[in-house]
Amino acid sequence: MLKIEARGYESKFWRYASPILALLLTGATSGLIFVAMGRPAGLTVYTFLIAPLLQQDGFQALVVKAAPLIMMGVGLSLAYRANVWNIGTDGQFTLGAICGGGVALAFPDAPAWALFPTMLVVGTLGGMASGGLVAWLRIRFNANEILTSLMFAYITQYLLVYLVTGPWRDPEGFGFPQTALFSDNALAPRLIEDSNVHIGVVLAPLIAIGLWFMLEKTLLGYQFRVLGQATRAARFAGFSENRLVWIAMLISGGLAGMAGLLEATGTLGQLTTTLSPGYGFTAIIVAFLGRLNPLGVIPAGLLLALTYLGGDAAQINLGLPNAVTGIFQGILLFYLLGCDILLLNRFRWVSTQAKAVR
Amino acid sequence: MNDAVNDAVKAGPLLTMTGMTKQYPGCLANDRVSLTVERNQIHALLGENGAGKSTLVKTIYGVVKPDAGEIIWEGQKVSIQNPGHAQRLGIGMVFQHFSLFEALTVTENIALGLGSAEERVGLRDRIIRISNEYGLPLDPDRVVHDLSVGERQRIEIVRCLLQNPKLLIMDEPTSVLTPSEVQKLFVTLRRLAAEGCSILYISHKLEEVRALCSAATIMRLGKNVGQCVPAEKTVKELAEIMINMTLHAPTPRPLTASVKPPRLVLDRLTIRSPHHFGTDLKDISLSLAGGEILGVAGIAGNGQSELMDALSGEVAAGKPESILIDGVAAGHMGPHERRRIHGCFVPEERNGHGAVTTMTLAENAFLSGFVRQALVRFGVINTRKTSAFAENIIKRFDVRTTGPKAEARSLSGGNLQKFLVGREVLQDPAVLVINQPTWGVDAGAALAIHEAIMALAEAGAAVMIISQDLDEIFVLADRIAVIAGGRISAPVLKRDATVESIGRLMGGTTATAAAPGEMALA
């Protein structure tokens, strides 16, 4: 008989081994699904996780995809550590792109030194405003941020659809739901010429390191951690819960807004209805896969970015539906949360016979 | 089974356990422990925290599966599978830590523990009847969230009594009761025992054990170390078997004349409780001089936690001047600012209030120490200094642990309490307020905490102890006040107080609250 038994302490080994186990289980399970769909399992996993990196510029594509995921994942790990459950980063991402993109559309001829930095600030502020609204609703009306932030994600998505099919639609765009292309001055600066590798690729890990330092080494970060683990102890110490909820929502919202703006100006060069292929929701998986540790979020972001590329590759090479990306990510989150039982518990094989003899 | 055998079984002990062994990761909690509970017996299980008492009784209740050992219940060898099985056998248990749903009412909580719909019929009336019968006043319709620790415990006791058990296990049941309530509970327990329900009684209060129990099994470090008839031993002897060392009782303090200027003044402190059924604080006026220890006695749920929150700054007082620390109006200050003007506090609940259990001792030392110990520079935590502060607490207060990196939850209750009291005492407070200094703490740790409190007062601090343990108050306090219904009685000198007079005030019947504005004995 298999028995689950409390360890009585948190296992250091499983703290790091549990996400790896989750990955292996995800690989095995998705392999089974592919077999059921009549594809050889090995080939599919290869197509998904290895082939994209072997393509020309595969690595560049990977870091560009990973940048927004890391930015948002870092913000989320901070918020989640404080028990602030912002799950609407997708909306904050979109609003950041809308606000910053609006600036680009209004002042296409502004000089380069002014336009992009302004857009970056306005985009970040847009995300902060969206996050701040959620914080205000929680503090003022005790409204659950899980619900409000998710609802705002949908509202923002429809706002984007309205703008790009209505007032902001490109008159010369043959009726496609998209804005005019941003002027060159409005595009995110490139690190490598003639590529999509934009400034966000460096910003994301720098932000991760900065917030790791903040969370682990500063008084503010300590306050987040105490609040997340014991609300009453935070009150006893004199930390204001409301203030921390505000800061957590503003940081996670602002980073999402910045990521959205960088995505719009770094890879798309315009606003379209398909601005975010669910980046905000994938960032939740990134945060958990990274153990809610900003440094862990960096490899986690790269891995999830790979699943996006792999999904494209599987679609093109194997004719699988694009939904496999979502399935893969969903299975991963499932196993991630499931494997965490090993942190505080262990499995033990108890022989029923041996027990009877005793 | 024929009648002769049946009679033989009835004559035998109710419960016999032999060779009980339970290994936890890194800790042998029970090592070949034996226990025999006779019929109609009130049997004490004594031992320090961590001696393995809880593991043993959890085994009886089916919560813990032993690795080895034999349990004979009413003459039959049994393997108790789970608490439901234990209840069907006739074993009930009142845990030290309650398992109640905070959002549900008393009746709903009790209903959840019952097996079938039939058992729920007329439940509310039965709760009222039993709680009246046994002197455990309880409003069945109140939500648990708003109840005090004492009231919550009454729910657990009533919940067990509803099942008509043959063996009732009680883990530290009296720590939240008044002397008269304790006496009433003892009447209840003696009657239950006479009616055929044996009782396994776990307590640190040796005086109680001597008064109540007819047999005792003493444990230390997971093993049996003695069996005795408690009444034949002195409290000192019992304690010495328990902790295996010779005890020096703290000498009662000489009364200090309060001629020094007051360090803590409460002036008509009035706060409405934010909770539905919380206790409002009404017109609380007190004055506390340096070098003085004031004991605030009272039954759980009479405003103690509200008073603690008001003093620590977790809840702001109505007017700034209603709380003066060293003459500074502190009523509107938060906990930070109060610490800055030398106020330090130890709340009642260790887990999740005074300490974050999942954090290390160093991080917990930082929790309330970072202001006064200057552990932050430019917003960055000084890890080295924090660790040194934690190390100092551990050393000075003999906290048994592996070091500042140990998680708080790895410590026993007594050791964690020593750490938390030490954390505040070492910050050199002008005013120290402690709620329940030694609740659920073993005798050795309690002694250490009492000595630290007295030394602090000796050094000139004003100390307020809020406690439901009258023995503790009489050992420590210079003056004693009673909190009842959110009001505080005028403090009396200890030599003028008796357990009876204080007990009467705790009941609230003849409470003479300090008149508004009247400074009691400045």
- For the segment B305-318, the average pLDDT, to the nearest whole number, is 91
Whether residue B359 and residue A229 make contact (CB cut-off 8 A), yes or no, is: yes
Most confident of A128-142, B36-50, B190-204: A128-142
Q: Pseudo-torsion of CA A353, A356, B3, B4, nearest 10°?
A: 130
For chain B, what is the domain count? 3
Q: Which residue from A10, A230, A238 is facing B356, i.e. has the nearest CB? A: A230
- 3-state SS of A149-173 is HHHHHHHHHHHHHHHHHCCCCCCCC
Q: How far apart are the first and last CA of chain A?
A: 16
- pLDDT at residue B256, as a whole number: 54
Average the pLDDT over each of A92-106, A196-210, B336-350, B507-521 and give the range with the smallest value. B507-521
B399 and B462 housed in the same domain: no
B513, pLDDT greater than 80: no
Cβ–Cβ below 8 Å for B353 and A7? no
Q: Do A9 and B410 make contact, defined as CB atoms within 8 angstroms?
A: yes
Name which of B24, B368, B409 is nearest A237 (Cβ-Cβ): B368
Residue B259: pLDDT above 70?
no
pLDDT at site B7: 54
CA nearest to B485, candidates B216, B280, B342, B317: B280
Q: Is B350 part of a structural domain of the chain?
A: no
Return the ∠ at Cα B409 (arms to A232 and B204), rounded to 5°: 95
Average pLDDT, chain B: 84
Residue A241 CA to residue B449 CA, distance in Å, equals 32
- Determine the pLDDT at residue A142: 92
Among B384, A260, A239, A220, residue whose Cα is nearest residue A212 = A220
In a domain, B399, yes or no: yes
Measured between alpha carbons, how far is A223 from A218 in angstroms, rounded to an integer?
Answer: 9
| Chain B residues touching A10 at Cβ < 8 A | 358, 407
Cβ contacts of B377 on chain A, cutoff 8 Å: none
At residue B518, the pLDDT reads 35
pLDDT on residue A202: 96
pLDDT at A154: 95
Give the global pTM: 0.75
Closest by CA position to B417, among listed B388, B451, B445? B445
Per the CB < 8 A criterion, the answer to whether B267 and B322 are in contact is: yes
> Looking at the structure, do residues B434 and B369 belong to the same domain, yes or no?
no
Cα(B480)–Cα(B470) distance, integer angstroms: 10
Choose among B440, B501, B449, B500: nearest CA to B475.
B449
A–B interface: beta-carbon pairs under 8 A: 70
Q: Residue B509 pLDDT > 80, yes or no? A: no
Task: Name residues whose C-beta falls within 8 Å of residue A164's C-beta, 6 or more positions apart in sequence.
Answer: A177, A178, A179, A271, A272, A273
Query: Do B370 and A230 lie within an 8 Å CB cutoff?
Result: no
Instruction: Grade residue A43 by pLDDT with cuts at 50, 70 and 90.
Output: confident
pLDDT at A181 over 60: yes
Q: Which two tokens stand for residue B73?
A: 């219940």
Say yes or no: B402 and B457 in one domain: no
pLDDT above 70 (res B18): yes
Domain final residue, candidates B226, B243, B260:
B243
Tell me how far apart the alpha carbons of residues B159 and B206 are, in angstroms, rounded to a whole number.
26
The model's pLDDT over B195-247, given as tens digits with 9 standing for 90+, comes to 888 999 987 677 888 889 999 999 887 888 888 898 888 877 887 787 666 55
Q: How many residues are recorded in chain B?
A: 522
Q: Which of B358, B370, B376 sits opposite A229 (nearest CB)?
A: B358
**Helix, strand, coil share (%) of chain A residues, nearest 5:** 75, 5, 25
Distance CA B332, CA B337 (A): 9
Asked whether the beta carbons of residue B367 and residue A226 sit closer than 8 angstroms, the reply is yes
Whether residue B221 sits in one domain with residue B102: yes
Are A219 and B379 inside 8 Å of each other by CB?
yes
Same domain, B39 and B162: yes
Q: Which of A41-55, A126-140, B230-244, B437-451 has the highest mean pLDDT?
A: A126-140
Of B194, B227, B243, the domain-final residue? B243
Paired tokens of A24:
């292996």
In terms of CA atoms, which chain B residue is nearest residue A223? B367
- Cα–Cα distance for residue pair B322/B299, rounded to 1 Å: 24
The dihedral through the CA atoms of B204, B208, B213, B214 has a sign that is positive
Does residue A313 surpass a pLDDT of 80?
yes
Collect all residues of chain A within an 8 Å Cβ-Cβ radius of residue B68. Answer: 358
Flag whether B61 is in a domain: yes
Nearest CA to B437 out of B354, B333, B327 is that of B354
What does the block give as tokens for B321?
Answer: 């001047």
pLDDT digits (tens, 9 = 90+) for A229-240: 999 999 999 999
What ranges do the domains of chain A cover? 66-301
Compute the average pLDDT of residues B133-162: 81
pLDDT score for A351:
63
pLDDT at B1 over 50: no
Whole-angstrom distance, CA of residue B144 vs CA of residue B155: 9
Nearest to B25 among A7, A222, A229 (CB): A7
Which residue among A10, A217, A232 sits closest to B353, beta carbon to beta carbon?
A232
Residue B134: predicted pLDDT: 72
Per-residue confidence (pLDDT) for residue B257, from 0 to 100: 53
Q: Pick from B193, B220, B243: which residue ends a domain? A: B243
Interface of A with B in 7-26 (CB under 8 A): 7-10
Could you tell me which of B393, B410, B301, B299 has the C-alpha nearest to residue B359? B410
Q: Which member of A219, A232, A236 has the closest CB to residue B368?
A: A236
How far A184 CA sits from the closest chain B CA (Å)? 41
Are the CB atoms for B242 and B47 separated by under 8 Å? yes
Say whether A10 and B358 touch across the interface (CB within 8 A).
yes
Between chains, do B407 and A237 touch, taking CB under 8 Å as contact?
A: no
Q: What stretch of H or E contains B392?
A: helix B383-396
- Do both B182 and B278 map to the same domain? no
Reported as a pLDDT band with limits 50, 70 and 90, residue B516 is very low
**Domain identity same for B260 and B393:** no
Q: What is the DSSP letter of B232?
A: G
What number of CA atoms fall less than 13 Å from residue B47's CA on the CB side?
25
Range of the domain at B367: 357-411+420-427
Helices (H) and strands (E) in chain B, counts: 18, 23
Short-list A94, A97, A91, A105, CA closest to A179: A105
- Minimal Cα distance from A7: which residue of B? B25
Residues of B engaging A, defined by a Cβ cutoff of 8 Å = 24-26, 68, 312-314, 334-337, 339, 345, 347, 349, 352-359, 363, 366-368, 370, 376, 379-381, 383, 407, 409-410
**What's the pLDDT at A357?**
37
Q: Is B3 part of a structural domain of the chain?
A: no
**Does A218 contact B381 at a Cβ distance shorter than 8 Å?**
yes
- Considering the domain architecture, whether residues B182 and B329 belong to the same structural domain is answered as no
By three-state DSSP, how is residue B103 classified? coil
More confident residue, B390 or A358: B390
What is the DSSP pairing of strand B323-325 with strand B328-329? antiparallel
Bridge-partner residues for B323, per DSSP?
A: B266
The candidate with the shortest Cα–Cα distance to B215, out of B337, B7, B37, is B37
**B355 vs A233: CB contact, 8 Å cut-off?**
yes
Q: What confidence tens digit (pLDDT) does each residue in B430-484 have?
A: 999 999 998 877 778 888 999 999 999 999 999 999 998 788 898 899 999 999 8
Lowest model confidence (mean pLDDT) among A285-299, A311-325, B344-358, B377-391: A311-325
Residue recorded with tokens 């030398």: B342
pLDDT at res. B481: 94
Can you point out the beta strands (E) in B272-379?
Answer: 281-289, 293-297, 323-325, 328-329, 343-346, 376-377
Residues of chain A in contact with residue B337, where contact means CB-CB under 8 angstroms, are: 238
From the list A226, A231, A238, which residue is nearest B336 (CB)?
A238
CB contact under 8 A, A236 and B312: yes
CB proximity A348 to B under 8 Å: no
Structure tokens at A270: 């315009």
Q: Which of B356, B358, B409 to mutate to test the interface with A (most CBs of A within 10 A)?
A: B356
Over residues B283-296, mean pLDDT: 92
Same structural domain for residues B36 and B91? yes
Identity of the residue in B25, B339, B357 whose CB atom sits nearest the CB atom of A8? B25
Residue B100 lies in a domain: yes
The set of residues, in sequence order, having a beta carbon less than 8 Å from that of A316 and lying 6+ positions away, is none
Q: Please indicate, yes or no, whether residues B204 and B300 belong to a single structural domain of this protein.
A: no
Interface mutation vs chain A, best among B23, B338, B351, B353, most A CBs within 10 Å? B353
Which residues of chain A does B335 touch, with a Cβ-Cβ cutoff of 8 Å? 235-238
Q: Does residue B317 come out as left (phi exceeding 0), alpha (psi in the -120 to 50 range) or beta?
A: beta
Contact check, Cβ <8 Å, A217/B354: no
List Cβ neighbours of B211 (8 Å cut-off, separation of 6 or more). B186
CA distance B95 to B28: 22
Residue of B nearest to A238 (CA): B335
B5 falls within a domain: no
A258 within 8 A of A127, measured Cβ to Cβ: yes
Query: For residues A63 and B229, what is the distance between their CA atoms, to the nearest angstrom?
Result: 75
**Whether residues B182 and B264 fall in one domain:** no
Same domain, B334 and B264: yes
Q: Do B68 and A8 touch (CB under 8 A)?
A: no
Mean pLDDT check: name the lowest of A114-123, B298-307, B319-328, B374-383. Answer: B298-307
